[in-house]
Structure 1
């Protein structure tokens, strides 16, 4: 029997982080820059929701407001960070390899594995707000050499298909984890089936824009659901230009997550 939880937009953790006081060393753009973040899972100050999904620890829907806003240079260890840009431009500076300065526009995305230790900075240097979704996950193996990969999703030529962006698919960016991230931009009336790798896998489905019936649950913009112990997840698109992010991963044995599921999910 499949299991499911639903997170409506208003149930996410909503934060506004200003570049002032002690935060100004981390949040760039002082004094008028600020970041708005909506967290699907517990992250920093927000601890009122679900503690991750499989190896996924962060799913942050973020907007950088103001020229120069973003995150100043900061370190990570043994985390894989993915960013998917939807509006504006993200300047990403990181220390992987010989160092990289990258400028990502709408449709661009990256996978940065901090591994044994890496630093990066993410800034919106143009006047336009930058909108991205950030995904943090635990790697399968600790202390790997840091790495950086990036690619582009062309929504004009890849509509009405579930396209794998991260994972082991053709053209997908590699990641050291049993995880795949896919994107679906589709028109009203279209239907799609997403087959899971095994009953030990689950999917986290986030609707960025539009409306979709996911199995029997209607999800509107910024709503999401997690489903596991299922063989297939069905999508029926209810609005034109619906934009869906699908994260499939092995459901690792995590006692914290299992306790949350026991307390919150109807079995």
Structure 2
């Protein structure tokens, strides 16, 4: 049975978080700096208009405003976290393996699988605002060893094609879940079809820039749509330079999700 929903940009959770008071231990930077966050789903302090979709718990675009702004070192466990950078520079310090310091710019992205436990810090240390989309995914197996992988999307060479960034495709970054993240930058008048792997998989389609027709509905800037139980998702590009992210996820029982969330409230 097919199911779908549309989430308009204005229906998402929109937050401005300053580095002051009790938040200063988590939000890095001068008190004049701040993080803006627009969240598609409702997970603890990540507020949005609806619960998660499949294994997705968090999907939000964030901007770090001000040099030194971001998140101080903090722990995670049993989460796979992805960040896709679209502007500025993200300095990412993490403890996976022997630990590393990574610097990511537009087109770069990472998968940090916290597994049995890991810490990381994410900072914008330049004066340019850092823009990224964050995706948090429930892992398929708990307490795996922490791991970190990073990649780059070359929008000049991979235009007008659906490119898998995360998942089990050639050149994609691995993630401990039945999930794939693809990106499409396309020109007006083009049409594409995305086919989920099985009827048990759903697709979350997010319009970062531009305007598209998706499954017979028009989606604009920061609008999104979730579909499950469909054989394919048809996407028509209505504006030049439209930039779309597609997250394909196995659909899981909502009761299992609630049990998992109550056991992992500290994420």
**Deviation (angstroms), 1:31:** 1.6
Find out whether 1:66 has 2:75 as its counterpart.
Answer: no
**Other-structure match for 2:227:** 227
Residues 150 and 198 (structure 1), Cα distance of their counterparts in 2 relative to 1, 3 Å cut: same
Rounded to whole Å, the distance in 2 between the matches of 1:69 and 1:164 is 30
- C-alpha change, 1:48 and 1:133, in structure 2 (3 Å) is closer
2:218 counterpart SS class:
strand
Q: 1:47 to 1:64 in 2, by over 3 A?
A: closer
Question: How many Å apart are 1:60 and its aligned residue?
Answer: 1.3
Deviation at 1:44, TM superposition (A): 3.2
Q: Deviations over 1:19-77 (max 9, x none)?
A: 00111110001221100000000033455521101111000110000000000000001
Change (3 A) 1:47 1:104: closer
Q: Deviations over 1:151-210 (max 9, x none)?
A: 000000000000000000000000110000000000000000001111110000000000
Could you tell me which residue of structure 2 aligns to residue 133 of structure 1? 133
1:160-199 to structure 2, matched below 5 A, reads: 160-199=160-199
Give the match's secondary structure for 1:101: strand
Q: Counterpart in 2 of 1:250?
A: 250
* Alignment RMSD (CA, Å): 1.3
CA contact (8 A) 1:51 1:256 kept: no
Aligned to 1:261: none
Figure out how many residues of one structure are paired with residues of the other and give that number: 258
Gap change, CA 1:45 and 1:99, over 3 Å in 2: closer
Provide the rounded CA distance (Å) in 1 between the counterparts of 2:220 and 2:255: 31
Which runs of no fewer than 5 residues in structure 1 stay unpaired? 259-267
Closer/same/farther in 2, CA of residues 12 and 229 from structure 1, 3 Å limit = same
The answer to whether the 8 A contact 1:24-1:30 is kept is no
For residues 60 and 193 of structure 2, what CA distance do their matches in structure 1 show?
A: 26
In the alignment, the residues of structure 2 paired with residue 238 and residue 256 of structure 1 have an alpha-carbon distance, to the nearest angstrom, of 39
Q: Secondary structure at the match of 2:97?
A: coil
Q: Which residue of 2 aligns with 1:10?
A: 10
Point out where structure 2 has 5 or more consecutive residues left out of the alignment: 259-267
SS at match of 2:240: coil
Aligned residues of 1:53 and 1:257 also touching (Cα < 8 A) = no
Measured in 2, the distance between the counterparts of 1:216 and 1:156 equals 29
Deviation of 1:2 after TM superposition, in Å, equals 2.0
In the superposition, relative to structure 1, how do residues 255 and 39 fare at CA in structure 2: closer, same or farther (>3 Å)?
Answer: same
